[in-house]
C-alpha cells in the first residue's frame, strides 16, 4: 500500500470517529444551505478535520471540499464529508465519507467509508480496488437486457433514461455513492446520475476504474467535474452513453 492511500485511510478512520457518534444523535444539528440541501454539524466537523490534518501533515497540498470550497493547487484532497446527508439526517444508514487525492488532474487514490453499513471501499492507481480487504471486479454481463441498472431521481425527466431502464433485466435505484460502488463490486452493471459534483465523483471514479469498470460523465468524457456520472462494467459503457446521448 502506498503512502497516499495509507494516509487516505487514516483520514477515513478519523472521519468515521466523527460521523458515527453523530448518526441518529438526538442533538444532531441540521441546517439548510443556499441550494436547499441539508448540512449537519458532522459534515462540517469532518471537512474541518481533513483541512487541519492535511495542512499539518501534507504541507503544500490543498483541499477541495463540499462545505468550504477549493484551496486550489495541482495536488489536492477532494472530500465529501458525508455523501448522503439526507440519509444521515434521517437515520438511514446509507451514507459515506468520500476522500480522494488528485495529482495534476488525475485521481490517484480514493476511499469511501460507510461505517453505518460496516463497509469501506478503496483503490489506488495500478493497485486494484477493494472492499474490506477483498479485491473487487466488475461483472462480465455484456447486454443491457441482462443488466441491472440503478439511477437517481435527478434523471426522472429524461426519456432516454427510461428507455434504458425498460430494456434492462432489473432496475433497482440505490442511493448516492452506493450504486457506483455496487458496479465496482459486480452487483450492478450500470449506474446513472444526472447531477453530481466533483467531490461526489472523485473517489468513486478511481474505485470503479480499478475494479475494471468505466466512469464518465453523461457525454462519455472521463472527468470528475462534468456535473454527472455514469459508471458501468466497461462492456456496456459505449452503448449506454449512446443511448443517453440520443435525440430525445
Rounded to whole angstroms, what are the CA distances from 121 to 114, 124, 187? 8, 11, 14
pLDDT of residue 241: 95
Please tell me the predicted confidence (pLDDT) of residue 245. 84
Task: Collapse the DSSP code of 150 into the 3-class scheme (helix H, G, I; strand E, B; otherwise coil) and give the result.
Answer: strand
Q: Which three cell numbers stand for residue 27?
A: 442533538
Instruction: Quote the pLDDT of residue 176.
Output: 81
DSSP 155: G
Burial 53-85, CB ≥16 within 10 A → b, else e: bbeeebeebbbbbbbeeeeeeeebbbbbbbbbb
HSE value, Cβ hemisphere, 13 Å, CA-based, for 122: 24
Q: What is the pLDDT of residue 248?
A: 63
In this prediction the pTM is 0.94
Whole-Å CA distances, 62 to 40, 197, 223 = 23, 18, 19
Nearest-angstrom CA–CA distance, 166 and 149: 10
Which structural domains are found in the chain, ordered by start? 3-135 (3.30.540.10), 144-245 (3.40.190.80)
- Determine the Cα angle at 78 with ends 89 and 59, to 5°: 125
Per-residue pLDDT of the chain (248 residues; tens, 9 = 90+): 799 999 999 999 999 999 999 999 999 998 887 777 889 999 999 999 999 999 999 999 999 999 988 988 899 999 999 999 999 999 999 999 999 999 999 999 999 999 999 999 999 999 999 999 999 999 999 999 999 999 877 656 778 888 888 999 999 888 789 999 999 999 999 999 989 999 999 999 999 999 999 999 999 999 999 999 999 999 999 999 999 887 76
Phi, psi of 244, rounded to the nearest 5 degrees = -75, -20
Amino acid at each position: 500500500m502506498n503512502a497516499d492511500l495509507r494516509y487516505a485511510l487514516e483520514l477515513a478512520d478519523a472521519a468515521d470517529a466523527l460521523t458515527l457518534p453523530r448518526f441518529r444523535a438526538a442533538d444532531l444539528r441540521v441546517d439548510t444551505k443556499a441550494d436547499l440541501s441539508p448540512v449537519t454539524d458532522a459534515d462540517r466537523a469532518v471537512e474541518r478535520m481533513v483541512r487541519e490534518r492535511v495542512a499539518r501533515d501534507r504541507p503544500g497540498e490543498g483541499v477541495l471540499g463540499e462545505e468550504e470550497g477549493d484551496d486550489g493547487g495541482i495536488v489536492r484532497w477532494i472530500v465529501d464529508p458525508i455523501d448522503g446527508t439526507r440519509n444521515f439526517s434521517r437515520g438511514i444508514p446509507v451514507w459515506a465519507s468520500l476522500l480522494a487525492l488528485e495529482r495534476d488532474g488525475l485521481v490517484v487514490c480514493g476511499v469511501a467509508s460507510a461505517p453505518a453499513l460496516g463497509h469501506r471501499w478503496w483503490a489506488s492507481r495500478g493497485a486494484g480496488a477493494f472492499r474490506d480487504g477483498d479485491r473487487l471486479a466488475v461483472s462480465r454481463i455484456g447486454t443491457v437486457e441482462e443488466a441491472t441498472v440503478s439511477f437517481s431521481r435527478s434523471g426522472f425527466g429524461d426519456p432516454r433514461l427510461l428507455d434504458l431502464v425498460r430494456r434492462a433485466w432489473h432496475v433497482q435505484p440505490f442511493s448516492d455513492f452506493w450504486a457506483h460502488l455496487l458496479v465496482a463490486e459486480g452487483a450492478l452493471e450500470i449506474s446513472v446520475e444526472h447531477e453530481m459534483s466533483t467531490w461526489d465523483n472523485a473517489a468513486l471514479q478511481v474505485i470503479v476504474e480499478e475494479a475494471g469498470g468505466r466512469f464518465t460523465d453523461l457525454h462519455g468524457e472521463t472527468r470528475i467535474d462534468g456535473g454527472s456520472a455514469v459508471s458501468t462494467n466497461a462492456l456496456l459503457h459505449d452503448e449506454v452513453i449512446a443511448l443517453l446521448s440520443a435525440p430525445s
